[in-house]
Amino acid sequence: MRVNPNPMPDLLAALNQTELEEQQAELQISTGKSVNEPSDNPGAAALLVENHDQATFTSGYLQSISAVQGQLSTASSTLSSITTAMQQVISLGVEGANGTLSASDQAAIVVQLQGIQSQLVSLANTTYQGNYVFAGTKTNTAPFVVDGASPSGVDYVGNTDVNEVSIGSGYKLAVNVPGSQLFSAPGNDVFLAVNNLIQALQTNTGIGTAVNAVSAASSYLSAQTVFYGNATDQTQSETTYLNAAQLQIAQQQNTLGGVDMATAASDLTQAQTDSQAALAAIGKLSQNNLFDYLT
Amino acid sequence: MSGLFGTLSTALSGLSVSQQEMETTSNNVANANTPGYTREVSEIAAGDPIELGSLSFGTGVVLEKIESLRDVMLQIQINQGTQQNSSLNASLTELQQIQTQFASSNSGIGADISNFFNSLQQLSPDPSNLTLRQSVLTAADTLATDFNTVAQSLQTQSGNIDQSVVQSVSQVNSLTSQIASVDQQISDLQSVNQSPGTLIDQQNNLIQQLSRLIDVQVIPTGQGITLATSNGTTLVSGSLSFALTTQASGGVQHIFAGSQNITSSLTGGSLAGLIQVRDQEIPSISSSLDQLAAGLATNLNAANAQGFDLNGNQGGNIFAPPPAGGVGAAATLTVSMTDPSLIAASSDGTSGSNGNLANLSAVADTALANGQTPINAYSNLVGQVGSATSNTSADASASNMILQQLQDQNGSVSGVSLNEEASNLIQFQNAYQAAARVVSAVNLLLLDAVNLGMDQAEQ
């Protein structure tokens, strides 16, 4: 059979192909990615978009969690201070109920209680990064306002709304308890109980009952504190979960679009060898023909 | 018996035919690298013998014809292969350019969508924070700008393709008129019984160049050739060529043969590849982007309207409302909100409420018109662009190989082999020398015969 006397186009095509493979391998090694453009692996390229979305959200949730944790811990430590203050109120009340106190001592207790009362108002008006923690969602105004005309001595001007923050995909966490629920719950109104105790001491009647009421309100408040403990626990376990997820997402990303350096390096060597072979073939392409031997 | 003069004439025929054969060889060698050149061979035959009684005497050799060796079927296949190959390569070049817009998963529209929704997530623990609110608007701006950039680059590319289409059409016209004029020369030569071998080579070469641009079929007729596109549009008929024209319609250049629009019926050549990308791929990608941009803008505006801004007013638009039907939404997507306090994070009118952020965030999980969430829609688009490019690339490689093989086959039939020509040259040279030797022998014999007469006269 007659062969094609001009093999040059074939050899050039082969050279072109090996150079392309060389470039491909070099690109993979230099970028560390096997998917440098969507056509390298369309399925993986599409999944990498979703993988990056998951990675963004996972680190986003972690960031939200630290913001929420600051808020939760402020609220929680404020509540412990309030609980401590309430214990003090109770002991002062018990002391006042002791019929042996002089009128001036009684008056001194009242002054002390009034001090605690205003301390309680100030604690209930605690802020975190400029926002009132116990105001429901009306976080831009102090929720408890002193009002002498009110039986409890204060008015609640916050609202009863609760904010929820997503700390995971489809995982919403309530991050606040409205001050009205904590401090002004009907039957367990902290401010009313303290105010009543002060009045009882001033009039010297029903002090025991008033102390019991303070004690009940204090227990109720302690029970409410559990909310913040629970919420903090939830953010902590979610953090553990998200950290693990983050690792998995990074691994997935590597599986989808990462480069196995050993393979890429061996591909590059192979392509270079092929390329040299093609070059050698072109170089040695029969430079002689029969005409050279004609005399 | 024809005598010495007969022998001389026989030897002369050998000389002249050998010389002509060497001329053919020389022409082959000279054209060894001429594109489209087909090697020629001389066909020779023994001259008609003279019958004398029971004896038959040869009268030498005659050159019957000089023939170009070509395989017509193979050339048709090469033309078809070239058309398919050029179409795929033209598509591939454009698609590779398109996919650079979708190359990175860490930046671009996909990452922008993720970042925007993440900025809403970050606002949620502290909804009245103006810095966090500003990040939401900044993320929205980046998203809109990237939509604009990609949509505009697609439009620019479509415009560039348009220019290529116009240039290609003018090249087609130039080639068809050359082919027609060569055809005229061929029929002129044929009418005086001369071999048009090299002109046919030239014509075939032109047809092959034409095949790179447009799908043409060669229909041999009594009078020269007819070239027609696969949908039957005649480009060349004998010595007449019919120019194609381009005309803008619907924002892109359409190709007309006379009054007939043949734009969408081209099936091969770079024109078909370019038009396929310009009229199918780019509009499809643009429309997906428009759908995504319009869906996001509409849904986010609607979600914002459900809540209250920092001043307690009902939320307004974050994005300028996309055009009705969404056409052009990606290119024109703009954030109309400039004051971060206008983000309606609140569901109860207080500044501390984040209730409506849930509605805004929910847009990330809300199916758009095509039934996919925004990030899924974008991820599918990336997959779609990647697949189109990778499939075209695979098809183009396959078609390169097929074309290469066809050209190899054609080379094995029509290519000039220098070894072959050298061996022919030896053969023809020897034949010439032998014939010359015969002439010289006859010359001596004739001299003897003449001298013999002279001798007798002297005696």
The pLDDT value given to residue A172: 94
Of A2, A38, A172, the CB nearest to B382: A38
Q: Is the pLDDT of residue B77 over 90?
A: yes
Of B347, B361, B418, the CB nearest to A291: B418
d(CA B280, CA B286): 10
% residues pLDDT > 90 (chain B):
74
The dihedral region occupied by B47, where left means phi > 0, alpha psi between -120 and 50, and beta the remainder, is beta
Domain membership flag for residue B372:
yes
Are B117 and B255 contained in the same domain?
Answer: yes
What are the DSSP calls for B99-159, one per residue? HGGG--SSSSHHHHHHHHHHHHHHHTTSTT-HHHHHHHHHHHHHHHHHHHHHHHHHHHHHH
**A279-283, B230-234, B408-412: which is most confident:** B408-412
Minimal-distance CA residue of chain A relative to B35: A6
Residues B376-385, mean pLDDT to the nearest whole number = 95
The C-alpha of B361 sits at a distance from chain A's nearest C-alpha, in angstroms, of 10
Helices (H), strands (E): how many in chain B?
11, 11
Domain membership flag for residue B411:
no
Average pLDDT along chain A: 91
CB-based contact B418 A290, cutoff 8 Å: yes
Are B310 and B376 contained in the same domain?
Answer: yes
The pLDDT value given to residue B453: 58
Are B47 and B115 contained in the same domain?
Answer: no
pLDDT classification of A58: cutoffs 50, 70, 90:
very high
Q: CA geometry: angle at A61 spanning A60 and A63, to 5°? A: 65
Are B254 and B344 contained in the same domain?
Answer: yes
The C-alpha of A114 sits at a distance from chain B's nearest C-alpha, in angstroms, of 31
CB-based contact A166 B385, cutoff 8 Å: no
Residues B49-74, mean pLDDT to the nearest whole number = 88
* Tally of domains in chain B: 2
Residues A13-37, mean pLDDT to the nearest whole number = 91
The H or E element that residue A113 is part of is: helix A103-124
Domain membership flag for residue B215:
yes
Residues A138-158, mean pLDDT to the nearest whole number = 93
The pLDDT value given to residue A98: 80
The pLDDT value given to residue B454: 62
Of B129, B348, B404, the CB nearest to A159: B348
**What is the value of ipTM here, to two decimals?**
0.90
Residues spanned by the domain of B207: 77-405
The pLDDT value given to residue B105: 82
Contacts of B150 (CB under 8 A, 6+ apart): B101, B102, B108, B109, B289, B330
Kindly list the residues from chain B whose CB atom is less than 8 angstroms away from the CB atom of residue A172: 358
CB-based contact A137 B354, cutoff 8 Å: yes
* A202-260 residue pLDDT tens: 888 888 899 999 999 999 999 888 999 999 999 999 999 999 999 999 999 999 999 98
Q: Record the tokens describing residue B224, joined without a space.
A: 């020269």
Are B61 and B178 contained in the same domain?
Answer: no
The pLDDT value given to residue A111: 94
Residues B414-426, mean pLDDT to the nearest whole number = 92
Q: Which residue ranges form the domains of chain A, and what is each CATH number?
A: 50-251 (1.20.1330.10)
Are the CB atoms for B132 and B119 separated by under 8 Å?
yes
Are B52 and B88 contained in the same domain?
Answer: no
CB-based contact A5 B103, cutoff 8 Å: no
What is the value of pTM for the model shown?
0.88
* B160-204 residue pLDDT tens: 999 999 999 999 999 999 999 999 998 888 888 777 778 888 999
d(CA B205, CA B190): 19
Are B254 and B310 contained in the same domain?
Answer: yes
CB-based contact B358 A172, cutoff 8 Å: yes
Domain membership flag for residue B57:
yes
Of B121, B379, B421, the CB nearest to A49: B379
Contacts of B124 (CB under 8 A, 6+ apart): A64, A163, A165, A166, B345, B354, B357, B358, B361
Q: Is the pLDDT of residue B1 over 50?
A: no
What are the DSSP calls for A218-270, one per residue? HHHHHHHHHHHHHHHHHHHHHHHHHHHHHHHHHHHHHHHHB--HHHHHHHHHH
The C-alpha of A179 sits at a distance from chain B's nearest C-alpha, in angstroms, of 14
The C-alpha of A261 sits at a distance from chain B's nearest C-alpha, in angstroms, of 20
d(CA A204, CA B394): 97
The C-alpha of B323 sits at a distance from chain A's nearest C-alpha, in angstroms, of 27
SS3 A282: helix
Q: Is the pLDDT of residue B450 over 90?
A: no
Q: Which residues of B149-169 are buried (b: 16+ CB within 10 A; e: fewer)?
A: ebbeebeebbeebbebbeebb
Of B121, B378, B412, the CB nearest to A60: B121
How far is C-alpha B442 from the geometric centre of its chain's CA atoms? 64
Average pLDDT along chain B: 91
CB-based contact A40 B390, cutoff 8 Å: yes
The C-alpha of A166 sits at a distance from chain B's nearest C-alpha, in angstroms, of 7
Are B442 and B324 contained in the same domain?
Answer: no
Minimal-distance CA residue of chain B relative to A162: B353
Are B283 and B431 contained in the same domain?
Answer: no
Residues A161-175, mean pLDDT to the nearest whole number = 94
Give the residues across from B249 on adjacent strands.
Answer: B252
Q: CA geometry: angle at B83 spanning B79 and B85, to 5°? A: 115
Kindly list the residues from chain A whose CB atom is less than 8 angstroms away from the CB atom of residue B122: 60, 63-64, 67
The pLDDT value given to residue B2: 64
Residues B62-68, mean pLDDT to the nearest whole number = 89
Domain membership flag for residue B410:
no
The C-alpha of A214 sits at a distance from chain B's nearest C-alpha, in angstroms, of 31
Q: What does DSSP assign to residue B214?
A: S
Domain membership flag for residue B246:
yes
Q: Record the tokens describing residue A222, joined without a space.
A: 């302690």
CB-based contact A161 B353, cutoff 8 Å: yes
Are B271 and B347 contained in the same domain?
Answer: yes
Of B127, B413, B422, the CB nearest to A294: B422
Domain membership flag for residue B413:
no
The pLDDT value given to residue B459: 45
Are B90 and B224 contained in the same domain?
Answer: yes
Chains A and B form CB pairs within 8 A to the count of 184
d(CA B130, CA B11): 109
Residues B338-346, mean pLDDT to the nearest whole number = 95
Q: Is the pLDDT of residue A286 over 90?
A: no
Domain membership flag for residue B153:
yes
Kindly list the residues from chain B whose CB atom is less than 8 angstroms away from the CB atom of residue A46: 379-380, 382-383, 386
CB-based contact B96 A164, cutoff 8 Å: no
Are B34 and B139 contained in the same domain?
Answer: no
